[in-house]
Each structure stands twice: as structure tokens, then as C-alpha cells.
Amino acid sequence: DQQVKQNSPSLSVQEGRISILNCDYTNSMFDYFLWYKKYPAEGPTFLISISSIKDKNEDGRFTVFLNKSAKHLSLHIVPSQPGDSAVYFCAASAITTPLVFGKGTRLSVIA
């Protein structure tokens, strides 16, 4: 039973436009959420995080939104750049659990 779901396995966006990656979770105990970015043949790298006391966190071109009532978070990348092409993993944690990852969404930014 997947606790963290990324329902879109892939997404294509034109350079300069907004990329929106979505993530849903089922465990109401999750209180910290992270996005990781993964290039081929490399380990995931941390991108941005948000704690459950906030509903938005912004870092440059990356913004994460959290909707606790809907158990939904999203990552917005604007403007999208070709170098953003990678697999993006959503992850969630609670005090008593290690990170639980979604299956990832492959983002392709087309020049």
C-alpha cells in the first residue's frame, strides 16, 4: 500500500513554462515533506522541503505547496529550463518513520 503517490510517471514542458509536479500521501502523521531530483547514474539530490506548519516554501525557481486537508503537495518550477530534466521524487516523513518515497515523475523540459 503506497503511502506516497506520484500519479504521473512523466511530464513534458516547454522551456520557459511552468512545470507542476504533484504528490499525494495517505499517512496523516507525515509532518515533513521533501522533493529530490535525480539524474541518471547519480543518487538523488535534495531540492526543497516543507514542514506541515507551512503551506508554501519558495527557493528561487522552485516552490513547494502543501495542502494538508487534501494530503497533497506540489512542486512548481518556473521558468523551466532544459537542465531541470530529471526524475523528481516526492518524500514524506514522520517522527517515527524514515522517509517514504513516491515512484518519481520524469520531467522533460523541451527547448
- What the block records as the C-alpha cell of 45 is 539530490
The DSSP bridge partners found for residue 108 are 12
- At closest approach, how far in Å is the CB of 40 from other proteins? 11
d(CA 50, CA 87): 19
Are 16 and 77 spatial neighbours (Cβ–Cβ below 8 Å)? Answer: no
- At closest approach, how far in Å is the CB of 79 from other proteins? 26
Query: Which of 19, 36, 73, 80 is in the footprint of other proteins by CB under 8 A?
Result: 36
- At closest approach, how far in Å is the CB of 16 from other proteins? 29
* CA-closest candidate to residue 81, choices 16, 35, 20: 16
Binding to other proteins (CB under 8 A): which residues in 53-72?
Answer: none
Give the footprint of other proteins on this chain (CB under 8 A): 4, 6, 32, 34, 36, 41-46, 49, 89, 91, 93, 97-104
